Amino acid sequence: MKKIKLWMALLMAVLVVIGLILALLIKTSPKQPIALLRVVDAAGKPVAGAVIRPDGLRPKSAINSGHYSWIAKNFPVGPNPVSTDDHGHARVPYPKYVFERIETGQIGFSVNHPDFAPDRPFRLVATRPPAGAPWQAWADYFWARIRHKPLIVRTDPVVLQQGATLKLLLRRDIVHPLDAQLFAQDSTEGYRDTNFWTQPERGVLMTRRFPSSKQSVRVFQVRGNGSLWFSDVFSLAAGAGRTNVAIVGLKPALAVHGQLDNTVPRPVKNGRVVAHVWPLGHKPQDSPPQWHAWTTIRTDGGFDIASLPPGVLEIVALCDGFVSTNGPGESPGIRYPQKHLLGTNDLNITIGMEPTVRLEVNVADEKGNALEGSIASASPNVRYGDWAATILLSDCYNTLNRYLRQPDAEFTGSSQPVPDFQGRTDSSGLAVIPNLPADVNEFSVEHPRFVLPAVLTAAGDQVRVASVSLVPGQTNRVSVELEPRGRSPIKQY
């Protein structure tokens, strides 16, 4: 009996120690998962000092799939840059959830190193089935683990390629004043660092990190008097390890002079116009050099946008009470810019306009109590090149400022709030969204403690939106009830 008691005491002590160890591990374990990334060269040798900048997330499954921007303020862990160690490894903490209880499966990031061409891959970082997955998914997962015998999930290494040397030379007959600045645009500029191009001498741009795959390039010059000159956009496949030379000419920039049509009464109030130019003969999905600009609209309905390159001009406008009519496009529910050809001369255009709609939203909780401080908003999307979409008029920035390091140079492409499309509830629970395109068919509501009930889309995704059918020419009204946040989180299963 004494031996049994001794063994029981010993067993209890062991269990207590194990419990303490587990508690310590849980307490000291990272609050968010960590991806172990490895960067190597084409020969498989580790690359030390490569800078990894995370920027995107993708969920584990097809439910609520797609690419989500990784913005610091929206997540418990930010997309902080890290550098690889001597073994080419970098540890990247990432949020467990893309949103609510939708688990992260992949992360996107750029990789930059002074000796290699830049890259921007996605990597699988979590292979376990999402919480609540059926037993078949778990069975497949464990069978795969048994077959491949991995103890931990390791991401595929990022293989950096040797870059090509590319020299861009202005033609000898092109003037390059002492006060002129020379810049290059290419397909990789969205994810590389700022030291990609150098200027070894006047009228010359050079990089030793140009990708060997086919890329599109454009050179532009900014003279001291503010005038811009552009080269044509050209494509090339540079040979890695070789010096490639391209001689370019320049042409003066073009301007667009326009006015809103007579549908809009004068004086025009709070008018803005955005222009996006795609180069002719290049597909938007190939990320050719693009140009973006915006300006305000005068009270007489006129506007001027200077310093544009030639190409396919796409243009949208918004003012109090009116929005530009749709241009050509394939996707229903998306707004499209009006299109014009910007050739060799300045352009004069008239933008067709149509009335917008005022929407009043009454917001209450599930007990019918008014919820003050709720933000009701809509997100009418505009799609440029029938390829890239963003919230209409959220992209009031100028490409030129990115190169000149002017005030909006830090614009990252994420949508900026548009006051026309949102309103805050007062003490009675009333929010006014003042200036919506009439084809908007849904809106969202945000509150610190309450959310809209989730609804199922035709694609099988769960979203927190409310449907609405707007009638032009009158004030539209709708009421919604919110539920406590966290009561029914969106999840994969």
The two structure tokens encoding residue 190: 């969205």
The answer to whether domain 34-159 and domain 164-252 are alike in fold is yes
Model pTM above 0.85: yes
Tell me the C-alpha distance between 96 and 423, whole Å: 31
Tell me the C-alpha distance between 369 and 314, whole Å: 46
Tell me the C-alpha distance between 56 and 125, whole Å: 12
Tell me the C-alpha distance between 455 and 490, whole Å: 10
Say if strands 475-484 and 357-365 run parallel, antiparallel, or are unpaired.
parallel
Query: Residue 104: which of 51, 68, 73 has the closest Cα?
Result: 68
Per-domain boundaries in the chain: 34-159, 164-252, 254-484
Residue 221: CB atoms within 10 A of its CB come to 22
Per-residue burial over 201-213, b if 16 or more Cβ lie within 10 Å, else e, is: eebebbbbbbbbe
Q: Each residue's pLDDT tens digit in the chain (493 positions)? A: 555 666 666 667 666 666 655 445 444 445 688 999 999 999 999 999 999 999 999 999 776 778 899 999 999 999 999 999 999 999 999 999 999 999 999 999 999 999 999 999 999 998 777 887 777 766 766 666 565 544 445 688 999 999 999 999 999 999 999 999 999 999 887 777 778 999 999 999 999 999 988 899 999 999 999 999 999 999 988 887 789 999 999 999 999 999 999 999 999 999 999 999 999 999 999 999 999 999 999 999 999 999 999 999 999 999 999 999 999 998 888 999 999 999 999 999 999 999 999 999 999 999 999 999 999 999 999 999 999 899 999 999 999 998 998 765 444 444 688 999 999 999 999 999 999 999 999 999 999 999 999 999 888 889 999 999 999 878 999 999 999 999 999 998 8
User: Residue 109 belongs to what H/E stretch?
Assistant: strand 102-112
Q: What is the DSSP letter of 267?
A: S
Burial class (CB in 10 A: 0-12, 13-18, 19+), 236: middle
Those residues whose C-beta lies under 8 Å from the C-beta of residue 9, and which sit 6 or more positions away, are none
The fourth-level CATH superfamily of domain 164-252 is: Immunoglobulins (2.60.40.10)
User: How is domain 34-159 classified at the CATH fold level?
Assistant: Immunoglobulin-like (2.60.40)
